[in-house]
């Protein structure tokens, strides 16, 4: 076994950490959170230039063919920096789906533009009545000649308000099919939901949206398998993001415990604070190692439904605890909005319910146990 990073991974981590330290101060995170768009456009360009959009894409599409574990490292750094923007929806959700399910023409049309940072993708799957069970979706695509006409409403669609393409899972008979939809096509409407953190989530309504048959992704009635795989990978990547955030909470808390003086001594000399920090470290280390394992398995192409679900269950609970304790150690100062801590508190909660909460992943584990 090897819990360590390779040299190139260490380097990626360092580049990413320095990049965010330089380009994304928390003041900027808070500033863009207040804007409609929700992220800094310059940052997006810079990241594309670093080759991050195409990190795991094949060279023929302008990517650098790194593996999923490398992407995990990058995403952990993004979590640590509390990076807002459509990276996750484009690079973790959309692009792999196109790579996986798309035909040659679709891949050629979409992926190089992703790698160059020219387009933003997202995936619209969850609905009010069914989050992940594609067979129960109500949004429907009805055949009309050479095209399909989509009607329905999708919820919690990340970054749809800035997306160029929305991959929509819509019912075609008893099963669902993936459609590559131009986000600006007539009838597509994205509306921001009043969400919790720096992330952007939308309600997307499809009203008589005509999509050519050529824009079916992965074949008719095939959405189920692809969405399942996407959620599995996204859950693992979300864990990496949350671990990144929790790591930052840990660091901030240790630093503050050393600096903050009350009763003539650093609060970190109080054993109640020391125990909080020790508990946080236990949580963090458990999260990090269980997440690394899950991500490594994806990277190696091994079956890992159970390992990913175990990771998500553990990380969901632990990162929430870490965020609470981070606040507890900081006292009133971090209850102020101008402090950074609450960004992580919110990030942990948003991450927890994204791509499966413990109800969902607990069920996966139970199934895997043969229950």
Ligand X SMILES: Cc1cc2nc3c(=O)[nH]c(=O)nc-3n(C[C@H](O)[C@H](O)[C@H](O)COP(=O)(O)OP(=O)(O)OC[C@H]3O[C@@H](n4cnc5c(N)ncnc54)[C@H](O)[C@@H]3O)c2cc1C
Residues that bind ligand X (CB under 6 A): 260, 262-263, 267, 270, 272-273, 328-329, 331-332, 335
The residue among 194 and 301 lying less far from other proteins, judged by its C-beta, is: 194
Strands (E) in 34-162, as ranges, are 121-124, 140-144, 147-158
The residue among 301 and 359 lying less far from other proteins, judged by its C-beta, is: 359
Q: Which residues contact 136 (CB under 8 A, 6 or more apart)?
A: 127, 129, 130
Q: Closest Cα partner for 211 from 123, 151, 160?
A: 151
Instruction: Specify whether the CB–CB gap between 163 and 125 falls below 8 A.
Output: no
* Angle between helical axes of 26-33 and 341-353 (0-180°, round to 10): 60
Q: In angstroms, give the least distance from the CB of 31 to other proteins.
A: 14
Helix (H) or strand (E) holding 227: helix 223-259
Q: In angstroms, give the least distance from the CB of 172 to ligand X.
A: 52
Q: In angstroms, give the least distance from the CB of 364 to other proteins.
A: 15
Q: Give the one entry of ligand X, other proteins, none that residue 255 binds, where binding means its C-beta sits below a cut-off of 5 to 8 angstroms depending on kind.
A: none
Q: Rounded CA gap, 61 and 68, in Å?
A: 17
The residue among 184 and 265 lying less far from ligand X, judged by its C-beta, is: 265
The residue among 71 and 131 lying less far from other proteins, judged by its C-beta, is: 131
Q: Using CB under 8 A as the criterion, which residues of the chain lie in contact with other proteins when the complex forms? A: 126, 128-131, 136, 155-156, 191-196, 201, 203, 261-265, 270, 272-273, 320, 324, 327-328, 331-332, 334-339, 341-342, 345-346, 349-350, 353-354, 357-359
The residue among 12 and 257 lying less far from other proteins, judged by its C-beta, is: 257
Q: Rounded CA gap, 322 and 344, in Å?
A: 10
Cβ-proximal residue to ligand X, closest one: 331
Q: Closest Cα partner for 253 from 232, 277, 236?
A: 277
Return the DSSP state at 90: I
- Residues 163, 166, 167, 169, CA torsion sign: positive
Q: In angstroms, give the least distance from the CB of 197 to other proteins.
A: 8
Q: In angstroms, give the least distance from the CB of 42 to ligand X.
A: 35
Q: In angstroms, give the least distance from the CB of 187 to other proteins.
A: 18
The residue among 306 and 339 lying less far from ligand X, judged by its C-beta, is: 339
């Amino acid at each position: 076994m090897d819990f360590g990073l390779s040299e190139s991974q260490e380097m990626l981590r360092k580049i990413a950490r320095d990049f965010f330290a330089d380009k994304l101060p928390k003041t900027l995170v808070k500033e863009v959170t207040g804007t409609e768009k929700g992220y800094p456009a310059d940052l997006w360009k810079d990241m594309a230039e670093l080759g991050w959009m195409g990190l795991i894409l094949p060279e023929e599409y302008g990517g650098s063919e790194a593996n999923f574990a490398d992407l995990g490292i990058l995403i952990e750094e993004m979590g640590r920096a509390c990076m807002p923007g459509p990276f996750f929806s484009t690079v973790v959700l959309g692009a792999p789906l196109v790579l996986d399910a798309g035909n040659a023409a679709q891949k050629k049309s979409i992926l190089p533009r992703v790698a160059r940072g020219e387009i933003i993708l997202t995936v619209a799957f969850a609905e009010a009545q069914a989050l992940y069970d594609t067979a129960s979706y109500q949004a429907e695509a009805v055949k009309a000649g050479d095209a399909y006409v989509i009607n329905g409403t999708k919820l919690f669609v990340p970054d749809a308000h800035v997306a160029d393409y929305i991959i929509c899972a819509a019912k075609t008979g008893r099963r669902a099919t993936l459609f590559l939809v131009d986000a600006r096509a007539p009838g597509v409407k994205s509306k921001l939901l009043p969400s919790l953190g720096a992330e952007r989530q939308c309600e997307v309504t499809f009203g008589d949206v005509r999509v050519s048959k050529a824009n079916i992704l992965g074949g008719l009635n095939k959405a189920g398998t692809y969405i399942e795989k996407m959620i599995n990978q996204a859950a693992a990547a979300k864990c990496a993001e949350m671990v990144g955030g929790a790591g930052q909470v840990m660091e901030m808390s240790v630093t503050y415990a050393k600096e903050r003086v009350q009763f003539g001594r650093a609060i970190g000399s109080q054993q109640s604070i020391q125990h909080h920090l020790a508990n946080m470290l236990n949580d963090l280390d458990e999260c990090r190692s269980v997440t690394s394992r899950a991500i490594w398995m994806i990277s190696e192409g091994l079956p890992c439904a159970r390992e990913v679900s175990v990771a998500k269950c553990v990380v969901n609970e632990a990162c929430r605890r870490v965020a609470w304790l981070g606040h507890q150690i900081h006292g009133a100062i971090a209850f102020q909005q101008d402090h950074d801590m609450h960004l992580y508190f919110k990030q942990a909660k948003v991450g927890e319910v994204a791509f499966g909460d413990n109800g969902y992943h607990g069920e996966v584990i139970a199934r895997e146990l043969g229950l």
